[in-house]
Structure 1
Amino acid sequence: MVTAADTGGDGGTGERGPLRLFVLSGSRRADSLNTRLAALAGVAVRAHGGTADLASVKDFEVPDYDGDLEAADGIPAGAIRFRERLEAADAFVMASPEYNASLPGVLKNLIDWTSRFRPQPFNERQGLLISASPSMVGGNRGLWALRVPLEHLGARIYPDMFSLATAHSLLADGDRIADETLQQRFETNMLNFMNLVEAATRYRCVKKAWVEYLGERPDLTIDRTELSA
């Protein structure tokens, strides 16, 4: 991994603390293949000198999004906890199942609630999407659907997503992916993402604003605009 001495991003001390990644399983099920893959992502993060904060969507229960409910009671506690964990990390990894060629509704709902905070916490945050499925597609179609709301919210999603097909047999042992070629590809993907996150935290791109464009012409009454620090 790139070191602080290489980049000079440490203020001249030559030292830097480890990267902290928030690793989320998009499944509630206890023995989910995606929860197992998320655990392997945590292993890879720690193997490359980072720290991993593992969680599941089940840890952040929220009701279905309802504007009237938000107006009456505010943003629910589950979304508040999720934002806190997200903002405490340098980047996030989401291991998401594929439901009918898309993402799970529970994960989309959590993203929708969390997007209501100001400042909007996904904006400019680096993310990696991974999936595991018994199918030959490996959940890849669901990851393409998941990219859409996250990138709309300004998240910088790593181009090389990782999808593990026939995961029910390849994740049987729990410690690593049974196929050595796929295990190596997974570890390389994780390491490359961590290197990008490390560089991005030191050489931040100046982004003046996040704008949710809703109309034909920018209008403060219909377009949500948020200035970046």
Structure 2
Amino acid sequence: MSNQLTNQNEPLKILVFSASLRKTSLNTVLAKLAAEVIESIGGKVDFANMNEFDCPSFNQDMEGSSHPKGAEELNRRMLASDAFVIASPEYNGSMPGLLKNSIDWVSRFRPQPFNERHALLMSASPSMGGGNKALWSLRMPLEHLGARVFPDMFSLAMAHKAFTPEGKIIDETLAKRFGSNIIAFMSLVEAAKNYPCIKKAWVEFLGEQTDAATDRVE
């Protein structure tokens, strides 16, 4: 991937993880490929496993002076990143329950780490839909929490036949789109970090007003 980021400051820090606990998960393969692309264009990747963020079922009665270790770990690594990438499987037409559970726990931290943080969503599935329904269900809580979810999501259909033994996407057109999508996302993250005017443009893209009374990303 030859499209290097133009920023001459410190590299963008991107948290990347698969929302699957399965060792041979297709989404973990996709997440690793995303990490390779990010690093190839100058980003710094923090690659995580979902089992690091696993939590007991969310229960407000359990809230107190401490949070589950998985929630603390996800919160810490989110705060240390400029953006995050999630490769999510689709379970029964939605995101995995353990991912939503972790999001619910982490949303209780203050400051809340999803707010204003850019996100790129992707999925891989043996189905013809590529796990796309999971991504739409995942967008809702993330955007509700103030995350700036990149408009173009990537879903890889028939994923059990889509990778080479080395974990590359076989279809050249899909591979090119995958790389271009990540480059566009990284360019937006870079602009948002280094050029404050991008915030106003992003909020206007969402169709919101930018005055102090209604700006939810302040």
Q: Secondary structure at the match of 1:110?
A: helix
For 1:30 and 1:92, the matched residues in 2 are separated by 21
Structure 2 counterpart of 1:92, one-letter code: F
* Correspondences of 1:2-41 after superposition (within 5 Å): 2-4=5-7, 15-41=8-34
For 1:30 and 1:126, the matched residues in 2 are separated by 27
Residue 128 in 1 paired to residue 127 in 2? no
The number of aligned residues is 198
> Conserved in 1, the CA contact under 8 Å of 2:12 and 2:44?
yes
Q: Secondary structure at the match of 1:23?
A: strand
Deviation digits for residues 126-175 of structure 1 (CA, Å, limit 9, x no counterpart): 00000000000000011000000000000000000000000001124233
> Conserved in 2, the CA contact under 8 Å of 1:122 and 1:155?
yes
* Correspondences of 1:1-229 after superposition (within 5 Å): 1-4=4-7, 15-71=8-64, 74-204=66-196, 205=199, 228=218
Q: Secondary structure at the match of 1:183?
A: helix
Structure 1, unpaired ranges of 5+: 5-14, 207-225
For 1:46 and 1:177, the matched residues in 2 are separated by 17
Q: CA deviation at 1:61?
A: 2.2
For 1:162 and 1:147, the matched residues in 2 are separated by 13
Q: TM-score, normalised by structure 2?
A: 0.87
For 1:172 and 1:100, the matched residues in 2 are separated by 27
Q: Secondary structure at the match of 1:41?
A: helix
Structure 2 counterpart of 1:147, one-letter code: R
Q: Runs of at least 4 residues of structure 1 off by over 6 A?
A: none
RMSD: 1.5
> Conserved in 1, the CA contact under 8 Å of 2:115 and 2:217?
no
Identical aligned residues as a percent: 54
Q: CA deviation at 1:3?
A: 1.9
Structure 2, unpaired ranges of 5+: 201-215
Q: TM-score, normalised by structure 1?
A: 0.83
Q: Secondary structure at the match of 1:194?
A: helix
